[in-house]
Amino acid sequence: MSTAESTFSKGLEGVVAAQTEMSFINGTEGVLEYVGIAIGDLASKSSFEETVFLLWNKRLPTAAELEAFNAELREDYTMTDALKERIKACPVDAEPMHVIRTMISSMAMDDPSPNENSVEVARHKALNILATAPAIVAAFDRHRRGLDIVDPDPSLSFAANFLYMLNGEKPTDAMVRAFDICMITHADHGLNNSTFAARVVISTLSDMYSAITAAVGSLRGPLHGGANEGVMKMLNQISDVDSVESHVMNMIANKERIMGFGHRVYKAKDPRAAELMTLAKQLAEDTGNMDLYNKSHAIELVMEREYAAKGIYPNVDFYSATTYHCIGLKLDLFTPMFVLARIAGWAGHVIEQLGDNRLYRPTTDYVGQHAVPYVAIKDR
């Protein structure tokens, strides 16, 4: 198709660039389904491990299949010694998102066949990255605090094992459940920017490590996964609930973006925000952080009054900030949490792309000059 026939869509808005069987989004009605199952059902009834199996196999597992999947995942919890040494060599003031991106990329060097791309081999690489990423984040956080790395405990679930490796003690069931719900609600979400990045990279028949690395780089941006850190910074700037109205109205007057609100697809409340709002309130009550929750809810009411008519509602990042804070996570670990969950979606899309690949190569609408003479430098 020549550029004259194609129409330019800035940011590829509204362009269908892939087909998927993993997540369905109805932005008008605020619906999200993973393989046809409503996100609310999965958040309340499933586990992250079961959700990963669902996304990768396009169906829920039997009890035996889930047991086998858990065993396979837990075998990969442990980092190689080489990876541990690389983490210890990281500057203690490095940003965790740069560390996780770099370390995932470096995992290709520990893989005897990093470029193999058969779907079965790609799935194994995906499982290894998914299982190892929590250990990378936990190990770096302990390294920068001057603490020993805590090795994974294969008797623990994905959620429990991460919190154990991070804090060096077994987490409470409530914290494990909360973190598991966070992982479920962040696992996949159509062709968001980071997932698109992963598909673009693997469409050249590059490798899983390169594709996931590209996705992590994209997710870091404040317009994407980095928004949850921005939400927390905003909450910390507001002294109390009574100051919310003036603070938010001031931001609006200054045409500032309110982090955690708005979405390219949702023009109704993000169903994940609804799930995480309930979770955030429960956790805030349990951990003495109701001021955070109350400020968040007050912000939502102001934004509803000012922006609902424009289709701007809370997105997944808005209440995840309070949730992660109540779980005890440091601010700069919020976006890495998004990485831990979204590796499931990214890898699933990479495997879908490999299963029916065509190189991504959009075109441009050339709006520059033509027939320009070359002028020798002495004459310029």
Closer residue to ligand SDX in complex, CB, 113/254: 254
Q: Is 315 in the site for ligand SDX (CB under 6 A)?
A: yes
Residue with token string 């900030």: 321
Q: Is 23 in the site for ligand SDX (CB under 6 A)?
A: no
What is the closest distance, in whole angstroms, from the C-beta atom of residue 52 to ligand SDX in the complex? 16
The CA–CA distances, whole Å, from 200 to 41, 211, 240, 277 equal 31, 8, 44, 33
DSSP 347-365: HHHHHHHHHT---------
- Order across the sheet with 37-38: list the strands: 23-26, 31-34, 37-38
Stretch that binds ligand SDX, among 14-22, 93-101, 257-265, 289-297 (CB under 6 A): 257-265
Please tell me which residue in 141, 207, 270, 317 is annotated as part of the active site: 317
Q: Is 227 in the site for ligand SDX (CB under 6 A)?
A: yes
As given in the structure block, the two tokens for residue 322 are: 């309070």
Interface mask (CB under 6 A) for ligand SDX, residues 162-201, using x and -? ---------------------------xx-x---------
Contacts of 118 (CB under 8 A, 6+ apart): none
> For this structure, is 224 an active site residue?
yes
Q: Is 312 in the site for ligand SDX (CB under 6 A)?
A: yes
| Closest residue to bound ligand SDX by CB | 262
| Nearest partner of 256 among 220, 316, 299, 194, judged by Cα | 299
Q: How many CB atoms lie within 10 A of CB 151?
A: 14
Q: Is 262 in the site for ligand SDX (CB under 6 A)?
A: yes
What is the closest distance, in whole angstroms, from the C-beta atom of residue 11 to ligand SDX in the complex? 6
Stretch that binds ligand SDX, among 62-70, 176-184, 221-229, 319-327 (CB under 6 A): 221-229
Q: Is 132 in the site for ligand SDX (CB under 6 A)?
A: no
Q: Where are the alpha helices (DSSP H) in the chain?
A: 39-45, 48-57, 63-75, 81-88, 96-106, 119-144, 158-167, 173-185, 193-202, 208-219, 227-237, 244-253, 271-287, 290-307, 316-327, 334-355
Residue 287 DSSP one-character state: H
Q: Is 334 in the site for ligand SDX (CB under 6 A)?
A: no
| Cα 56 → chain centroid | 17
Closer residue to ligand SDX in complex, CB, 45/257: 257
Q: Is 316 in the site for ligand SDX (CB under 6 A)?
A: yes
What is the closest distance, in whole angstroms, from the C-beta atom of residue 296 to ligand SDX in the complex? 13
Tell me which of 145, 310, 361, 380 binds ligand SDX, using CB under 6 A: 310
Closer residue to ligand SDX in complex, CB, 33/153: 33
The helix/strand/coil state of 89 is coil
Q: Is 258 in the site for ligand SDX (CB under 6 A)?
A: yes
Phi, psi dihedrals of residue 117, rounded to the nearest 5°: -125, 15
As given in the structure block, the two tokens for residue 133 are: 């990423």
Q: Is 319 in the site for ligand SDX (CB under 6 A)?
A: no
As given in the structure block, the two tokens for residue 232 are: 């927390």
What is the closest distance, in whole angstroms, from the C-beta atom of residue 177 to ligand SDX in the complex? 21
Tell me which of 52, 259, 327, 343 binds ligand SDX, using CB under 6 A: 259
What is the closest distance, in whole angstroms, from the C-beta atom of residue 258 to ligand SDX in the complex? 4
The residues binding ligand SDX (CB under 6 A) are 11, 189-190, 192, 223-225, 227, 257-265, 310, 312, 315-317
Residues with catalytic roles: 224, 263, 317
